[in-house]
């Protein structure tokens, strides 16, 4: 692709055309016309995107030879000297818009578009001056604006394009169109404004004169001056207003008149536009993450030998496909200087995935080893390097890489930097965490998407070795290029310790837990499955009896007919296809008929049977009788771990049948025990610390039941007066506050009215004023910074926190409130895992950490270490992070996970 690109311009046909764009007007219109849009760093970009689409459209349609975007230089212009209130009624520019001006100007530079502003003058005046010059030189000009004032510039040589419907469409005005629409000449546009004024610019005009009246007066008298001269002929209230506001009309006309004598130094040649540099524009669009515009302009491959963001020369490397003794020897010599590692595999579950290849970057060479060759004798030095804890490894998803290699009996140690994990910390809400996605996010390129190389789904194929080597070499080199900038970004964001002392060590600990796995007795699950099946059949029969006939309980339509036609229960909600029978509807209907309770129970039992009994049985490995889950560190925006293949964090424990499933989870050694330790109300303890509320802190310091304490303060009763319902309501509010619950959400949880729920929340805040203060302060901080942090500096960006859309803004505000609480709680249990791993190794204990489930850690423990672990685990967990209130971990043990709870 050529590096220089241009959109065909007028000079190619032998004529010159000047395109002048009113920068402030267009970006304002784009901001309010476009939906909210942010890039991965949380910067608003909707106005820039809208402006750019308009720019491309007019460049294509007008094909200018000369071009300028004019901006207002400041709030004070020469017009304020005669009228201090000029533009005085305008609201302050929203920060979501003001932060986009520098982005737009940077993008215009990438387009090679001249831009200009001059203190004391407005963009209108700069444009007016340049149109006058164009007319004097016999050139044509086109003005693009959203401001009707610009119509005064129209002439035989100057056309004005006014935006309508945001910025996507424009309406063309020459003198003829102005005469047709308004019955005026271009020069009379200022007379129109002189009479009717302009509220957007705080130009007063004459009171009581709108556009219709002003046009009628001008049709009769022609100008403001002539209207005023004949003021005595105008009857009624209108005549009084004209005669009483002559000075205002004259001043208004003067304010509306574009000044066309601005002292500009630009020459005609300075405005020439010959197109843009493809690589510079591609880099700028990547930085803004305008992928659709990159594709529209066919800039996907524009690199021009440079890293787009830094301007540094893109690294040149040689891809070396390791086949024979010479390549193996060269790789062995290069390993001490290795800069990056890539392990490529196919499949989502790393415990079952098939390795494809491995690449090592060292200097100007990238060595690519097809995975099947990893077991060859010549690969000995490579395997030794992979297992060497002192040999630093930088890679992409090193956690998964360790599990993939472990399947082949290859050990991976020495992990020091994972670009995927680092990028997640820098922005946990990034939509595309793939390697190509990260390259795009940081303005780099050079790697094809995996789908383009392997195909997708059933069409997946590993290409020939040469094509594979080229792809893996490019990906490994990308890891090298990303590692440095990401490490610096972590430092700049204050997350160095979070990464190196928590997340990276935790990745290794998790891989160890996953490789260890936990024994799950298939026979116990099967026996429980039989029990569930019996209960399902019994419940089904009872439902049929109450309905009076058999039907498909799993069919929404048939169930709806039974509930709302046969039994005539009140209709709560309808959908396009009929009656709704979702859980929310059934819970509301439960008091009306016994069948509803049975249907809810039936659904719970069938889900336990299909998802947890049958689902877990499929995940037990025949070779060791264990389930090996996979923990993801880079999924949840709060920092919580996610469990996959299977998800062991969502086994239901609120109902006894769900808890029974834990009986199948047992130790892997005879005579050992399962030990479980669970943080007590960790999120509420974190809230007490972060908010500094003395009432909450005192409750935890005195080891009171915090829900009882809340009920006492909210209802104004003593501890012995708190009944079960009061405590239940207080508990709902306590945890609701942590999750930023609304009055609507609380009303649904407690089955009360929104008014009652709102009053309940208000009572809570009155009882715990520190919590209210925290909620207000954290939202203010988020609006100022664009993100919130946990106590360990983990960030979450909130691009919608200043949105004009109420729903988006409200969600962002709730997220701002709860993320520091939930995120800190997640950090605390991760810290506890790191500390526990250290403690087990330091003491030489045989006990093993097996699972992390929400706020709970699960171990298997030999009998001789049971007493030690009963003391050690809660001690380590309570000291994971120093808070103003004590952290408490409750520990228990048993022959299986069920008994340990």
Cα dist from 343 to 224, 360, 447, 472, whole Å: 78, 9, 16, 9
**Whole-number pLDDT of residue 495:** 94
Model confidence pLDDT, tens digit, residues 607-642: 999 999 999 999 999 999 999 999 999 998 889 999
Residue 412 has pLDDT above 90, yes or no: yes
CA dihedral 586, 587, 588, 593 (to 10 degrees): 70
What mean pLDDT do residues 837-864 have? 97
User: Of residues 830 and 189, which shows the higher confidence score?
Assistant: 830
Confidence (pTM): 0.67
Domain spans of the chain, in order of start: 4-178+259-276, 318-516, 519-627+644-664, 683-820
What mean pLDDT do residues 480-506 have? 93
**Whole-number pLDDT of residue 690:** 95
Q: Give the position of tokens 């509803």.
A: 596
| Cβ 66 vs Cβ 272: under 8 Å | yes
**Whole-number pLDDT of residue 302:** 54
Among 416, 396, 415, 402, CA closest to 472: 396
Conformation bin of residue 692: beta by default, left when phi > 0, alpha when psi is -120 to 50: left
Cα dist from 821 to 99, 552, 684, 879, whole Å: 29, 44, 8, 18
Model confidence band, residue 653 (pLDDT cutoffs 50, 70, 90): confident
**Whole-number pLDDT of residue 10:** 52
Domain 4-178+259-276: give its CATH superfamily: 5'-nuclease (3.40.50.1010)
Instruction: Give the separation between CA 50 and CA 29, rounded to whole angstroms.
Output: 9
Model confidence band, residue 77 (pLDDT cutoffs 50, 70, 90): low
Instruction: Give the separation between CA 441 and CA 150, rounded to whole angstroms.
Output: 39
**Whole-number pLDDT of residue 92:** 63
Residue 886 has pLDDT above 70, yes or no: yes
End-to-end CA distance of the chain: 65
Mapped onto helix, strand or coil, the DSSP state of residue 552 is coil
CATH class for the region spanning 683-820? mainly alpha
Q: DSSP assignment of 789-839, as one string?
A: E-TT--EEE-TTTT-SSHHHHHHHHHHHHHHHHHHHHHHHHHHHHHHHHHH
Model confidence pLDDT, tens digit, residues 761-805: 888 888 889 999 999 999 999 998 889 999 999 999 888 888 877
Residue 47 has pLDDT above 70, yes or no: yes
Model confidence band, residue 650 (pLDDT cutoffs 50, 70, 90): confident
Q: DSSP assignment of 92-139, as one string?
A: PPPHHHHTTHHHHHHHHHHTT--EE--TB--HHHHHHHHHHHHHHTT-
Task: Print the SS3 string covering 365-416.
Answer: EEEEEEHHHHHCHHHHHHHHHHHCCCCCEEECCHHHHHHHHHHCCCCCCCEE
- CATH topology of 4-178+259-276 equal to that of 318-516? no
Kindly state the tokens that stand for 843: 């003491």
CATH code of 519-627+644-664, in short, is 1.20.1060.10
Distance of CA 298 to the CA centre of its chain: 27
Residue 820 has pLDDT above 80, yes or no: yes
- For the ranges 178-187, 403-412, 490-499, the lowest mean pLDDT is seen at 178-187
What mean pLDDT do residues 134-150 have? 91
Kindly state the tokens that stand for 155: 């002439």
User: Of residues 666 and 353, which shows the higher confidence score?
Assistant: 666
Cα dist from 537 to 330, 603, 815, whole Å: 68, 12, 43
Residue 290 has pLDDT above 50, yes or no: yes
Cα dist from 87 to 80, 84, 167, 201, 206, whole Å: 9, 9, 23, 4, 17
Instruction: Give the separation between CA 776 and CA 769, rounded to whole angstroms.
Output: 11
Model confidence band, residue 83 (pLDDT cutoffs 50, 70, 90): low
Model confidence pLDDT, tens digit, residues 562-596: 999 999 999 888 877 789 898 888 988 999 999 99
| Cβ 63 vs Cβ 7: under 8 Å | yes
Model confidence pLDDT, tens digit, residues 240-251: 878 877 877 888
**Whole-number pLDDT of residue 41:** 61
**Whole-number pLDDT of residue 564:** 94
Residue 476 has pLDDT above 50, yes or no: yes
821: Cβ contacts below 8 Å, ≥ 6 apart: 683, 686, 687, 690, 738
Residue 310 has pLDDT above 50, yes or no: no
Model confidence band, residue 716 (pLDDT cutoffs 50, 70, 90): confident
Residue 555 has pLDDT above 50, yes or no: yes
What mean pLDDT do residues 343-366 have? 93
**Whole-number pLDDT of residue 43:** 76
Model confidence pLDDT, tens digit, residues 197-215: 877 676 778 887 888 888 8
Residues 245-261, buried b or exposed e (16+ Cβ, 10 A)? Answer: bbebbebbbbbbbbbbe
Residue 747 has pLDDT above 50, yes or no: yes
Residue 314 has pLDDT above 50, yes or no: no
| Cβ 506 vs Cβ 421: under 8 Å | no
Instruction: Give the separation between CA 872 and CA 449, rounded to whole angstroms.
Output: 48
Percent pLDDT > 90 in the chain is 54
Among 412, 505, 374, 866, CA closest to 667: 866
Q: What topology does CATH give the domain 318-516?
A: Nucleotidyltransferase; domain 5 (3.30.420)
């Amino acid at each position: 692709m050529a590096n220089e690109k241009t959109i065909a311009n007028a000079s190619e046909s032998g004529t010159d055309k000047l395109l002048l764009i009113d920068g402030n007007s267009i970006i304002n219109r784009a901001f309010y016309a476009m939906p909210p849009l942010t890039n991965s760093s949380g910067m608003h970009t909707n106005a820039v995107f809208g402006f750019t689409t308009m720019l491309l459209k007019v460049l294509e349609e007008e094909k200018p030879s000369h071009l300028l975007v004019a901006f207002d230089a400041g709030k004070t212009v020469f017009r304020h000297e005669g009228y201090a209130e000029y533009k005085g009624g305008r609201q302050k520019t929203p920060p979501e818009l003001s932060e986009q001006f520098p982005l737009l100007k940077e993008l215009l530079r990438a387009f090679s578009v001249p831009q200009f502003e001059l203190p004391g003058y407005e963009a209108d005046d700069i444009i007016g001056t340049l149109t006058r010059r164009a007319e004097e030189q016999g050139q044509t000009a086109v003005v693009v604006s959203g401001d009707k004032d610009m119509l005064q510039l129209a002439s035989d040589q100057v056309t004005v394009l006014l935006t309508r419907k945001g910025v996507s469409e424009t309406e063309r005005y020459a003198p003829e169109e102005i005469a047709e629409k308004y019955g005026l000449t271009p020069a009379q546009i200022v007379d129109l404004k002189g009479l009717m004024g302009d509220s957007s610019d705080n130009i007063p005009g004459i009171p009581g004169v709108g556009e219709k009246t002003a046009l009628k007066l001008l049709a009769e008298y022609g100008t403001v001056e002539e209207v005023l001269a004949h003021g005595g002929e105008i009857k009624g209230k209108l005549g009084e207003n004209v005669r009483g506001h002559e000075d205002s009309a004259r001043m208004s006309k003067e304010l509306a008149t574009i000044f066309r004598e601005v002292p500009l130094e630009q020459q005609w040649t300075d405005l020439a536009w010959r197109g843009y540099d493809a690589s510079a524009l591609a880099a700028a669009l990547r930085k803004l993450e305008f992928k659709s515009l990159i594709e529209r302009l066919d800039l996907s491959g524009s690199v021009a030998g440079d890293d787009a963001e830094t301007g540094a020369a893109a690294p040149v490397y040689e891809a070396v496909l390791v086949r024979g003794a010479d390549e193996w020897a060269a790789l062995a010599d290069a390993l001490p200087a290795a800069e990056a590692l890539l392990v490529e595999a196919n499949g989502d579950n790393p415990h079952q995935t098939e390795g494809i290849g491995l690449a090592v970057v060292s200097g100007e060479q990238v060595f690519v080893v097809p995975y099947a060759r990893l077991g060859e004798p010549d690969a000995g030095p490579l395997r030794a390097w992979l297992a060497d804890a002192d040999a630093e490894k930088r890679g992409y998803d090193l956690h998964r890489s360790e599990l993939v290699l472990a399947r082949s009996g290859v050990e991976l140690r020495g992990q020091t930097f994972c670009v995927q994990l680092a990028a997640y910390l820098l922005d946990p809400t990034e939509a595309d965490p793939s390697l190509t996605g990260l390259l795009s996010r940081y303005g780099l390129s050079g790697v094809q998407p995996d789908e383009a190389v392997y195909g997708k789904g059933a069409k997946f194929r590993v290409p020939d070795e040469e094509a594979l080597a080229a792809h893996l070499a490019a990906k490994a080199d990308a890891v090298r290029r990303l590692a440095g900038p990401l490490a610096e970004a972590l430092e700049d964001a204050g997350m160095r310790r979070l990464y190196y002392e928590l997340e990276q060590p935790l990745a290794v600990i998790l891989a160890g837990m996953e490789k260890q796995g936990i024994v799950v007795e298939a026979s116990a699950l099967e026996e429980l499955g039989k029990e569930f099946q019996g209960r399902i059949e019994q419940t089904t029969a009872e439902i049929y009896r109450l309905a009076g006939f058999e039907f498909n309980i799993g069919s929404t339509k048939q169930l709806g007919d039974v509930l709302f036609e046969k039994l005539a229960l009140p209709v709560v909600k309808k959908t396009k296809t009929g009656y709704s029978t979702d859980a929310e509807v059934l819970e509301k209907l439960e008091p009306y008929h016994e069948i509803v309770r049975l249907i809810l129970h039936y659904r719970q039992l069938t889900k336990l049977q299909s998802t947890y009994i049958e689902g877990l049985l499929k995940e037990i490995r025949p070779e060791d009788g264990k389930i090996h889950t996979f923990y993801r560190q880079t999924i949840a925006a709060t920092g919580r771990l996610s469990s996959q293949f299977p998800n062991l964090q969502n086994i239901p424990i609120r109902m006894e049948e769900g808890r029974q499933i834990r009986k199948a989870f047992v130790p892997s050694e005879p005579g050992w025990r399962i030990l479980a330790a669970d943080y007590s109300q960790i999120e509420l303890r974190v809230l007490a610390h972060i908010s500094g509320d003395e009432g909450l802190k005192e409750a935890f310091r005195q080891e009171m039941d915090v829900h009882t304490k809340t009920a006492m303060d909210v209802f104004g009763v003593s501890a012995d007066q708190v009944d079960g319902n009061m405590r239940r309501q207080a508990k709902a509010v306590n945890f609701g506050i942590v999750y930023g619950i609304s009055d609507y959400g609380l009303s649904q949880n407690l089955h009360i009215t929104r008014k009652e729920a709102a009053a309940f929340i208000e009572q809570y805040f009155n009882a715990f004023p520190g919590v209210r203060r925290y909620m207000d302060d954290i939202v203010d901080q988020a609006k100022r910074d664009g993100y919130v942090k946990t106590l360990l500096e983990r960030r979450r960006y909130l691009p919608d926190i200043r949105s004009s859309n109420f729903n988006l803004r409200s969600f962002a505000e709730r997220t701002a409130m709860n993320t520091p609480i939930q995120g800190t709680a997640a950090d605390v249990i991760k810290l506890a895992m790191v500390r526990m791993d250290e403690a087990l190794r330091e003491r030489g204990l045989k006990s093993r950490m097996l699972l992390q489930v929400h706020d709970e850690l699960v171990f298997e423990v030999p009998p001789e270490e049971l007493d030690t672990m009963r003391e050690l685990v809660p001690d380590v967990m309570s000291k994971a992070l120093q808070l103003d209130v004590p952290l408490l971990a409750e520990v228990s043990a048993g022959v299986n996970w069920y008994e340990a709870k």
